Amino acid sequence: MDIVKANMGWIEVVCGPMFSGKSEELIRRLRRAEIARQRVQIFKPSLDDRYSNSEIVSHSQLRIDSQAVESAADIMQRIEARTEVIGIDEANFLGNGLVEVVTRLADLGKRVIVAGLDTDYLGRPFDPIPTLLALAEQITKTLAICMRCGNPAKFTQRLIASDDLIVVGAGGMYEARCRRCFEAGVTPEARQKTVSTEA
Ligand SMILES: [Zn+2]
């Protein structure tokens, strides 16, 4: 962000496949804000309890304290008036309700940083990130490294058989793949179906 005068809020989105360092980047930005003594609040969906319920932990074991929330509306209720910077991890678990919450917070003058997957296990745009990308002031796309061939990887390959949009997991259940190695394994009809999350 360049020069921003007092009390102007904005939206930043960090998105990409799994294993691309999204949480790491989110934690890095939030830490810098904390070092500058800004008031920071951090949220993650309680659905994601892979590592800890009171912290965001990256695959590389960076961690930062966070509050677990059930829904996007829950975030709104927990925001303290003096908070200046808000971090939200795993946005996909919070569904499209997050768009309104994030917009309201930015309109209130807060800096909001959201991290999540931009595409799902079939390679389709994954709510609510596509809408947030359109509304954000700043976008960062993180790439992983293809676990098959070493090229830059944009896709999350699911390695287990499941048709559920959300299957919580990490190493062993998913891997990062490049465009060439990604196998969506889906018919053209299924590809056209719109994705919507009810998390
Ligand atoms: Zn590849």
- pLDDT digit string, tens, across residues 9-37: 999 999 999 999 999 999 999 999 999 99
Q: pLDDT tens, 44-83?
A: 998 765 556 688 888 777 888 899 999 999 999 999 999 9
% pLDDT > 90, the chain: 69
- The average pLDDT across 34-41 equals 96
CA of 121 to the centre of ligand 1 (A): 16
84, 90, 175, 189: the catalytic one is 90
**163 or 175, higher pLDDT:** 175
pLDDT of the residue at 51: 56
Q: pLDDT tens, 141-160?
A: 999 999 999 999 999 998 88
pTM: 0.86
Rg (CA), the chain: 17
CA of 153 to the centre of ligand 1 (A): 7
CA of 39 to the centre of ligand 1 (A): 41
Domain 10-144, CATH among 3.40.50.300, 3.40.50.11740, 3.10.290.10, 1.10.287.1080:
3.40.50.300
Q: Active-site residue 90, yes or no?
A: yes
CA of 63 to the centre of ligand 1 (A): 29
pLDDT of the residue at 142: 98
**Which residue from 103, 174, 189, 187 is spatially nearest to 144, judged by alpha carbons?**
174
* pLDDT at 197 > cutoff 70: no
pLDDT of the residue at 5: 73
**123 or 162, higher pLDDT:** 123
What are the backbone angles phi and psi of residue 9, rounded to the nearest 5°?
A: -90, 170
CA of 138 to the centre of ligand 1 (A): 28
CA of 191 to the centre of ligand 1 (A): 21
Q: 47 to each of 19, 52, 91, 163, how far by Cα in Å? A: 19, 11, 11, 18
pLDDT of the residue at 199: 39
Phi-psi region of 163 (alpha: psi -120 to 50; beta: other; left: phi over 0): alpha
pLDDT of the residue at 10: 97
State whether residue 193 is helix, strand or coil: coil
pLDDT of the residue at 188: 41
**pLDDT bucket at 1, cuts 50 / 70 / 90:** low
pLDDT of the residue at 192: 46
**Every domain of the chain and the residues it spans:** 10-144
pLDDT of the residue at 191: 44
- The average pLDDT across 120-139 equals 96
**Which residue from 45, 20, 40 is spatially nearest to 29, judged by alpha carbons?**
40
Note residues around ion ligand 1 (Cβ under 5 angstroms): 146, 148-149, 151, 178, 181
